[in-house]
């Protein structure tokens, strides 16, 4: 492991807490007011943490997902299609048996996650962009069994394939969150004005979070008697289970402004592409031109300008005891880590680390409470510990 050096925590005006949010520039949609004062730009907080950063692996090709193995080591996906093991300073050859992926646009091999009974079953789940013929693709998720020596996948089968396939290799999501008895998979809506409308259509799986059985098929108790759990999402690349309520929380990419933290409730509609706290990349209004409407569930937090969230975790480790239950999110733009202090389901403070220095696609908590980050631009797996 070799250490690298990143600047210390972003400190706002040198004070421990401020009534103002972190320094982040002008809003793209200043006409929108939050539904409550800390729904965006919660007061900045400096927890005084200095990280030591070790490089566990480098030279990875567009790394997208990382997972901690109970026996030590890390599984890492590369968006170009390889699943590898990082252990003791070495990066393995590609693990065989990974499904074919469409590695175009934003597509490719995406997330990797362990089944709750992995220690006994060796079952893992992958999400990926599945080639569907005719230049089309779908977000998909597969179940597989990892060999004891972590060189091979066997018994590989899809548990979810998004419908209908799209010609637009954009906005695939996707994270996989396995639970006992079912698996959550987050998706996207393939970006275009036409495709995004399907985020409101519960007969399709664009712009949805789905809940399926561990071997595929709609889970019992789903709200629409199909795979759909929630609707009205744009491009959901962050997901984790709340440590006390057991609810799935998600982070999704907004347009220009309007990245959202959502608490998922069975059957709820999160509004895209009808309402958004951001505007289209062209500057034109999204949908109705409003940020909210009574039919739609409000985000618990939003960012404008965006943080471009890769993933997040509820912090549960021992290394940073003051952060228990906080949201630790990875940011692609401006980059680095974003920490949200929560009270119930609302944010009360925000902190940033390493903006502009790491294009962080994924974040995980290591077995000892260290924070793992995948640096998407430099192909590195980083481990952050207390200095």
Q: Which residues bind Ca ion (CB under 5 A)?
A: 270-271, 311, 362, 364
Pick from 293, 273, 371, 313: nearest CA to 111: 313
By C-beta, is 195 or 364 nearer to Ca ion?
364
Q: What is the DSSP string of 22-57?
A: ------S-TT---SSGGGSSPPBB-----EEEEEEE
Q: Report helix, strand or coil for 91.
A: strand
By C-beta, is 43 or 271 nearer to Ca ion?
271
Active site residue 171: yes
By C-beta, is 270 or 320 nearer to Ca ion?
270
Q: Residue 351 in contact with residue 44, Cβ under 8 Å?
A: yes
| CB 127 to Ca ion: min, Å | 11
Pick from 305, 308, 272, 276: nearest CA to 289: 276
Distance CA 352, CA 338 (A): 5
Pick from 122, 159, 120, 154: nearest CA to 140: 159
| CB 299 to Ca ion: min, Å | 5
The kind and range of the H/E element at 251 are strand 248-252
The structure tokens listed for 243 are 């440590």
By C-beta, is 44 or 209 nearer to Ca ion?
209
Pick from 268, 193, 206: nearest CA to 236: 206
By C-beta, is 173 or 271 nearer to Ca ion?
271
Residue with tokens 């680095």: 336
| CB 304 to Ca ion: min, Å | 13
Burial 2-34 (b: 16+ CB within 10 A, else e): eeeebeebbbbeeeeebeebbebeebbbeebeb
Q: Report H helices in 181-282.
A: 193-196
By C-beta, is 278 or 355 nearer to Ca ion?
278
What is the DSSP-derived secondary structure letter of residue 79?
A: T
Q: CA 158 → CA 140, 215, 216, 282, distances in Å? A: 7, 8, 7, 37
By C-beta, is 12 or 191 nearer to Ca ion?
191
Q: Residue 206 in contact with residue 190, Cβ under 8 Å?
A: yes
The structure tokens listed for 15 are 């004070």
Residues annotated as catalytic (active site), given as ranges: 171
């Amino acid at each position: 492991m070799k250490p690298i050096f990143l600047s210390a925590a972003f400190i706002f005006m040198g004070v421990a807490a401020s009534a103002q949010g972190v320094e982040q520039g002008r809003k793209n949609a200043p006409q929108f007011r939050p539904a409550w004062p800390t729904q965006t730009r919660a007061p900045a907080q400096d927890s005084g943490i200095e990280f030591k950063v070790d490089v566990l692996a480098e030279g990875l090709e567009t790394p997208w997902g990382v997972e901690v193995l109970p026996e030590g080591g890390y599984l890492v996906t590369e968006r170009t299609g390889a699943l590898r093991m990082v252990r003791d300073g070495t990066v393995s050859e590609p693990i065989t048996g990974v499904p074919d992926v469409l590695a175009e646009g934003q597509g490719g091999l995406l997330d990797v996650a362990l089944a709750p009974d992995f220690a006994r079953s060796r079952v893992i789940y992958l999400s990926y962009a599945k080639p569907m013929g005719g230049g089309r693709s779908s977000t998909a998720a597969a179940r597989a069994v990892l060999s004891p020596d972590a060189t091979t996948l066997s018994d590989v089968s899809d548990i979810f394939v998004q419908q209908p396939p799209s010609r637009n290799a954009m906005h695939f999501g996707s994270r996989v969150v396995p639970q006992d008895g079912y698996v959550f998979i987050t998706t996207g809506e393939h970006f275009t004005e036409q495709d995004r409308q399907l985020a409101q259509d519960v007969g399709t799986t664009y712009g949805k979070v789905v809940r399926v059985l561990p071997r595929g098929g709609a889970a019992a108790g789903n709200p629409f008697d199909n795979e759909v759990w929630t609707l009205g999402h744009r491009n959901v690349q962050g997901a984790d289970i709340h440590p006390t309520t057991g609810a799935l929380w998600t982070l999704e990419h907004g347009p220009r402004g309007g990245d959202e933290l959502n608490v998922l409730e069975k059957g709820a509609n999160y509004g895209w592409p009808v309402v958004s706290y951001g505007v289209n990349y062209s500057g034109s209004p999204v949908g109705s031109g409003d940020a909210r409407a009574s039919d739609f569930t409000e985000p618990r937090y939003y960012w404008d300008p965006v943080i471009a969230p890769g993933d997040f975790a509820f912090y549960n480790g021992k290394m940073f005891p003051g952060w228990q239950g906080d949201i630790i999110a990875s940011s692609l733009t401006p980059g680095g880590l974003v920490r949200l202090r929560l009270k119930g389901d609302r944010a009360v403070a925000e902190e940033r680390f390493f903006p502009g220095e790491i294009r962080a696609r994924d974040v995980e908590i290591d077995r000892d409470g260290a924070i793992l980050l995948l640096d998407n631009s430099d192909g590195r797996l980083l481990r952050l510990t207390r200095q």
